[in-house]
Amino acid sequence: MFRLQDDFTYLMPVHFGGGRFTPDRVVRQRTTTLAMTYETDRGLLEQYIPEGFELISPEVQVIFSKFTEIDWMQGGQYNLVNVASPVRFSGQKDDLEGSYTLVVWENRTAPILGGREQTGIPKIYADIEDLHILRPHYMTNASYEGSTFLNLEFEAEEEITGVEMDAMRSGFSSVNAIGWRYIPKVGAPGAELSQFVLYPQGMKVEHAVAGKGSLKWTTLTPMQNPAQYYIVNSLAALPVEKIKQSVLFEGETFLHAMGARVIE
Amino acid sequence: MFRLQDDFTYLMPVHFGGGRFTPDRVVRQRTTTLAMTYETDRGLLEQYIPEGFELISPEVQVIFSKFTEIDWMQGGQYNLVNVASPVRFSGQKDDLEGSYTLVVWENRTAPILGGREQTGIPKIYADIEDLHILRPHYMTNASYEGSTFLNLEFEAEEEITGVEMDAMRSGFSSVNAIGWRYIPKVGAPGAELSQFVLYPQGMKVEHAVAGKGSLKWTTLTPMQNPAQYYIVNSLAALPVEKIKQSVLFEGETFLHAMGARVIE
Amino acid sequence: MFRLQDDFTYLMPVHFGGGRFTPDRVVRQRTTTLAMTYETDRGLLEQYIPEGFELISPEVQVIFSKFTEIDWMQGGQYNLVNVASPVRFSGQKDDLEGSYTLVVWENRTAPILGGREQTGIPKIYADIEDLHILRPHYMTNASYEGSTFLNLEFEAEEEITGVEMDAMRSGFSSVNAIGWRYIPKVGAPGAELSQFVLYPQGMKVEHAVAGKGSLKWTTLTPMQNPAQYYIVNSLAALPVEKIKQSVLFEGETFLHAMGARVIE
Amino acid sequence: MFRLQDDFTYLMPVHFGGGRFTPDRVVRQRTTTLAMTYETDRGLLEQYIPEGFELISPEVQVIFSKFTEIDWMQGGQYNLVNVASPVRFSGQKDDLEGSYTLVVWENRTAPILGGREQTGIPKIYADIEDLHILRPHYMTNASYEGSTFLNLEFEAEEEITGVEMDAMRSGFSSVNAIGWRYIPKVGAPGAELSQFVLYPQGMKVEHAVAGKGSLKWTTLTPMQNPAQYYIVNSLAALPVEKIKQSVLFEGETFLHAMGARVIE
């Protein structure tokens, strides 16, 4: 019969075996990232920030990344669109600033499962195009079963160097990503498990270009996207008041795969 | 700020809202199903049956289903390959027979997430072909990033009617699917949540054909399927000693969406 | 060395062999079809009708079909969106009415190649969703690399029977599809081969439902669809003045695979 | 009505317009290429070389390329697997050496259509994985509807520099790709159009690594790949006697888009 091993960590299905818990394990991947931050309406955005958090500024950051040479995926790759806002968490024990993850779309299921179940990052599936590159123009989109819901465009303007590059490197070198890990009760309303999880992540920016970014959300009907239409439409309802920063960069991502912790 | 509602059930991301918990809710979908059961080696199979369960017979049931007109997916569709074995569970409170789910591959992420987090069904992603139908020949396959790992073939022979059909209808009208819902600790080995969940499911068989089935598992390397190779290879290592039953049917599936319960 | 066989017909690559030309070969497939016809502006539509043809009425017919159990594809399947207008051809030898094919999108490349090279049907690729069915609602869409360009919706109202069904059966039992087969010169402008081809096709309608249809074209940019944006945008520029007929049916398609002929 | 323009070149559908024929147009794209050449049996390989050509040596070259930043696709991308052998063509007018294209698989339909109809390159569709990269290991595969038919693996060993690099640069700077453009008669056996086309292509190799390559062909049944099984199986029947050269490189591809010519 199958027996759990004490010092192992598992994901479903459990009974084919797990892996030794190795707290110092660092996972790496190459990344090409297009990041945009825009100001929006504070009241509308706060609807989606849970109690216990304070919205530092009414901003939404949308990040497209293409990850390649992912070592924990044996050299595989995937794309994501990460949507987050800057928050302060003031708990019983922890008081910290971070990036509250509103939603992440990924075009590969394996990292979705790990991200949700291990660290509470609310990942869901979408088709996400690789960047189309006709220098200096870049574009990509996210869609669900043929229905476009997000367009991202970027026009590269100038390489980031010097002090500005130092600031950018530093900003991305350690990001306090925060997720809400929530597992429902079986056969009843409410949570069997509900925790906020801090998952520090770092990117080593190697090369960066500033430019003009634009993005467009398109609302969807339930028939177009049954499990996500309300998420898309909630985001589409937030006005894009001003795009503050648009940057494209290449680099490497380092993750302490088991370095997340519950915050209280 | 976002606040949870008491009588709601949620999935990540929680903060865009959940749905009212409605215990009587029945979800429906059309199904075309190809089911095969084969005998295998008891000792090898028992490696994957957790303590607390007893293997009733050394059998593996592989079911391909194409679900369409899925009402909770607003009319969408997806394919699955369900792999399970017959077990008896003898717990503190519960004593029952059921079908222990070894693994389920699905080609759509939304039902994977719900199945894992709500009911512990160990669903993972694969590309699964629709049935190719050149009567009386049927075939499909499952693959991961271009690497085939399962081939299913079927040659229809005769329609199932009369007493045999009654038996079949009755057999599929209520299936005690059992999953192991397991959520790991954050930042430590072991489980934050570990439960066996019973999820009764029913199919109304409308039309069925018996025939000759065959299936072939192909082993994969970690580079071919980083997150699942050991699952595929564990199943591929189980000898297909004798295919006992192969049947193709059409019908409707009824699920009490919130009718699962933890067994102890 | 490879040598051509006299009574064979070939497609590229030629040197791995072709198939015997069998003029009586009938190919069959199951079909689920959603057909809509709308009136548009005559002048705008006539821009796309070549000289030698006369537009019988300023109408565009859009047909979505899902073909399954395709015998020449060994039981495989694919989806298409066919866009055509009613024309009269008055040539030196031939005088006939037919359906001039403006464009066909298909989600499988093999039938695209055969359709273009053997019979001049201007097939190109798009992702085309299977029908989402939440009775009485049906919807599908066509997209290119994540950019939606066509939405089709249908609400079933009443089964078609009696005289109306007879008329419909008769209308679909033989359709004079006309394509313009055109192969460019190598290293020079103009055509190496330019012919109009008549490809009679028949559907046996088994079951049909009338209803309310709607469709929406969405324009695309060159970066969204480099090889087709001008086709999409030309169609999107034709006003949908009135949807005359919307019907959903199931049936079987019979094609004399080699029954096409050049018209002059 | 639609009228052809004299100095234009067109692809189906013609009636939405073509493009001006511009003989000097150069199209560019970035490429990551994995190239392997192997010796095989002369007699078996010659079965697929048409009369008029002489096989220079019994070799098969298999090239995987990922093309990105493709300017004629407005910055889009696609993957291909090109299979060719070295030949001498001795015609009435032309006497030249080149690379006879046995088959090309591509995972995007638009370049397949242009390649076939404009220059006779026998392109067909397959799913082709992006390179999985776990340095120094690289792998990819080609599959059709879930059935793997080609595995490519590479282990990087040493960067190519100096004289060797010069030779390689020179070898790839101009390749005489030869295709057989063949369009069948309508309603009869035989060809309406049959020409050999020379399409000179050049790659500018920027960075190259030599290593150990391996490849594996897997045969398919007609139900697994109805339109191509005999092509796959013909190639799979050629023994891989010795892999002569395996190299991975990055660079840029330059094509005189309209620089092909018919050879006689």
Span A136-174, pLDDT tens digits: 999 999 999 999 999 999 999 999 999 999 999 998 898
B147, B149, B151, B220: best mutation site toward chain D, by most D Cβ within 10 Å? B147
B134 vs C71: CB contact, 8 Å cut-off?
Answer: yes
Sign of CA dihedral A9, A105, B79, A181: positive
Residue of C nearest to A135 (CA): C223
The terminus-to-terminus CA distance of chain A in angstroms comes to 38
B27, B73, B108, B132: best mutation site toward chain C, by most C Cβ within 10 Å? B132
Across the interface, of D129, D137, D145, the residue whose CB is closest to B145 is D129
- Name the token pair of D6: 């004299």
Mean pLDDT by 10 residues, chain C (264 residues): 96 97 91 98 98 97 98 97 98 96 98 97 98 98 98 98 95 93 97 97 95 98 97 98 96 85 96
3-state percent breakdown (helix, strand, coil) of chain A, nearest 5: 15, 55, 30
* B175-184 and B95-106 strand pairing: parallel
B133 vs C68: CB contact, 8 Å cut-off?
Answer: yes
How would you class A150 by CB atoms within 10 Å of its CB: exposed for 0-12, middle for 13-18, buried for 19 or more?
buried
Contacts of residue A170, Cβ cutoff 8 Å, sequence gap at least 6 = none
A132 vs D71: CB contact, 8 Å cut-off?
Answer: no
Contacts of residue C249, Cβ cutoff 8 Å, sequence gap at least 6 = C32, C33, C35, C160, C168, C172, C205, C206, C207, C208, C209
Q: How far is CA A110 from CA A12, A24, A76, A125, A179, in A?
A: 11, 22, 11, 10, 18
For residue A128, the chain C residues in CB contact (below 8 A) are 146
pLDDT at B94 over 80: yes
Residue A23: is the preceding peptide bond cis (ω within 30°)?
Answer: no
For residue C139, the chain A residues in CB contact (below 8 A) are 223-224
The position carrying tokens 């069925």 is B208
C223 vs A128: CB contact, 8 Å cut-off?
Answer: no
Sign of CA dihedral D82, D86, D88, D94: positive
B71, B108, B134: best mutation site toward chain C, by most C Cβ within 10 Å? B134
Contacts of residue D262, Cβ cutoff 8 Å, sequence gap at least 6 = C186, C187, D195, D196, D197, D198
Q: How far is CA B56 from CA B87, B104, C32, C131, C233, in A?
A: 5, 20, 44, 41, 63
The CATH architecture to which B26-263 belongs is Beta Barrel (2.40)
Q: Provide the pLDDT for residue A152.
A: 98
For residue C130, the chain B residues in CB contact (below 8 A) are 68, 77
Proportion of chain A above pLDDT 70, given as a percent: 100
Nearest CA to CA, how far is D177 from chain C (Å)?
14
Distance (Å, whole) CA A171 – CA A165:
10
Average of pLDDT values for B75-96? 97
A113 vs B118: CB contact, 8 Å cut-off?
Answer: no
Residue of B nearest to C129 (CA): B76
Is A150 in contact with A64 (CB distance < 8 Å)? Answer: no
For residue C142, the chain A residues in CB contact (below 8 A) are 146
Q: C-alpha angle A237/A243/A245, rounded to 5°? A: 135
Across the interface, of C134, C139, C143, the residue whose CB is closest to A143 is C143
The more confidently predicted of residues A172 and B240 is B240
Backbone angles phi, psi at C125, to 5 degrees: -90, 140
For residue C255, the chain D residues in CB contact (below 8 A) are none
User: Which neighbouring-strand residues pair with B68?
Assistant: B30
Residue of B nearest to D147 (CA): B148
For residue A76, the chain D residues in CB contact (below 8 A) are 132
Across the interface, of C134, C143, C224, the residue whose CB is closest to A146 is C143
Q: C-alpha angle B126/D125/C251, rounded to 5°? A: 75
Of A224, A66, A142, A65, the C-alpha closest to C146 is: A142
**C-alpha torsion angle, residues D229, D232, D237, D240 (rounded to 10):** -160
Across the interface, of B141, B223, B224, the residue whose CB is closest to D146 is B141
Q: Which residues of A touch D (CB under 8 A)?
A: 68-69, 71, 74-77, 130-135, 137-139
Across the interface, of B3, B12, B226, the residue whose CB is closest to A180 is B12
Across the interface, of C48, C116, C186, the residue whose CB is closest to D119 is C186
For residue B193, the chain A residues in CB contact (below 8 A) are 183, 192-193
B68 vs C137: CB contact, 8 Å cut-off?
Answer: no
Of D71, D81, D58, D119, the C-alpha closest to D217 is: D81
Across the interface, of A74, A138, A139, the residue whose CB is closest to D134 is A74
Residue of A nearest to D69 (CA): A133
Please give the model's pTM, rounded to 2 decimal places: 0.97
- Name the token pair of B45: 């199979």
The three-class DSSP label of residue D75 is coil
CA B115 to chain centre: 10
Q: Provide the pLDDT for residue A127.
A: 98
- Count CA atoms within 13 Å of residue D17 on its CB side: 12
Q: Provide the pLDDT for residue C100.
A: 98
A143 vs C148: CB contact, 8 Å cut-off?
Answer: yes
D132 vs A71: CB contact, 8 Å cut-off?
Answer: no
- Name the token pair of C46: 């006539």
D127-167: pLDDT as tens digits:
999 999 999 999 999 999 999 999 999 999 999 999 999 99
Backbone angles phi, psi at A71, to 5 degrees: -70, -40
Q: What are the extents of the domains in chain A?
A: 26-263
D147 vs B145: CB contact, 8 Å cut-off?
Answer: no
Q: Which residues of B touch D (CB under 8 A)?
A: 127-129, 132, 134, 137, 139, 141-143, 145-148, 223-224
CB atoms inside a 10 Å sphere around CB D47: 15
**C-alpha torsion angle, residues D98, D101, D106, D110 (rounded to 10):** 80
Q: How far is CA D59 from CA C8, C97, D87, D124, in A?
A: 29, 53, 10, 22
C146 vs A129: CB contact, 8 Å cut-off?
Answer: yes
CB atoms inside a 10 Å sphere around CB C92: 8
Across the interface, of D141, D148, D223, the residue whose CB is closest to B139 is D223
Q: Which residues of D touch B (CB under 8 A)?
A: 127-129, 132, 134, 137, 139, 141-143, 145-148, 223-224
* D95-106 and C242-256 strand pairing: unpaired
Q: Provide the pLDDT for residue C45.
A: 98
Low-confidence ranges of chain D (pLDDT < 50): none
- Name the token pair of C231: 């086709």
- Name the token pair of C153: 């919706």
Q: Provide the pLDDT for residue A71.
A: 95
Rg (alpha carbons) of chain D, rounded to whole number:
19
C&D contacts, CB < 8 Å: 216
A&C contacts, CB < 8 Å: 40
Average of pLDDT values for B208-227? 98
For residue A125, the chain C residues in CB contact (below 8 A) are none
A191 vs B10: CB contact, 8 Å cut-off?
Answer: yes
Low-confidence ranges of chain A (pLDDT < 50): none
Distance (Å, whole) CA D64 – CA C44:
45
Distance (Å, whole) CA A201 – CA D3:
60
